[in-house]
Amino acid sequence: MKKYALVGEKLGHSCSPLVHSEIFKDFNLDYEYGKIECSIDELKGVIDDLKNGIYSGYNVTIPYKREVMKYLDEISEEALAIGAVNTVAYKDGKAIGYNSDYYGFKDEVIHFNIDVKNKKCFVLGTGGASLAVHKALDDLGGNVLYVSRNPKNDETISYEDLEKENDIFLIVNTTPVGMYPNVGVSPIKKEIAKKAKYVMDVIFNPRQTQILLDADSKMDGFYMLVAQAVKSEEIWQDRKYEGDVSKLVLRIEAKL
């Protein structure tokens, strides 16, 4: 039986095993998907152990999407362009890194019918998830800027600068602010969230983070979670998922 896993620092909140088990059913595969928690000091050892043949691939989550890249044999073109990896597949004895977050978020924007072309889009945070979100919005034609507490380049503005913006089409939260168990807090003021036409959050626990509540938005990170998992499975199984992702999302939600 093939085994897959999620590698990260704190995974108690993760529902990835359920998501992947449902995709396995659709592929008619009797495979397993688990969770591997580790510290930054343990990461290299874990990655080395994962190459021993027990696992056929794995996902990577906070905070190792960039760190893991140094331990891989090859990195796909899209992951190199983004600068982060969240999916690793073993092919011909090599560990190859991909970024399915990019496809998952892009699918979510299309799913919600948000046309970002030539619109001002602001990505809160500069971590691994933000890189995929920025690339997806850029490829969809958006005018994208990162928002950081410590801006370091001309692609990034401060939160104070964001407050001065009057033309805000989309805000996407890629920071962990508001994620369980530290709920009820937002990375931005309520009036800024209300100013944006659309607000999205890559967090899915809780489904309604404070920033979404402030903006009266329902666009949480659950659809992205499922869509990126589908892409990961397509990479691992080398076959296209023929199901409807929207229906898959509903099916998984019913089991939570």
- Positive/negative CA dihedral, 186, 191, 196, 198: positive
C-alpha distances out from residue 222 to 59, 136, 202, 219, Å: 16, 17, 7, 8
Q: Length of the chain in residues, anyone?
A: 256
Whether 65 is catalytic is yes
**Backbone φ, ψ for residue 9 (5° rounding):** -85, -50
The catalytically annotated residue of 3, 65, 152, 195 is 65
CA Rg, the chain, in Å?
18
The residue type found at 94 is K
Distance of CA 232 to the CA centre of its chain: 12
96: closest CA among 232, 239, 5, 240?
A: 232
Beta-sheet strands, E only, within the chain? 3-8, 32-37, 55-60, 74-75, 87-91, 94-98, 120-124, 143-147, 156-157, 170-173, 198-201
User: What residues are labeled active site?
Assistant: 65
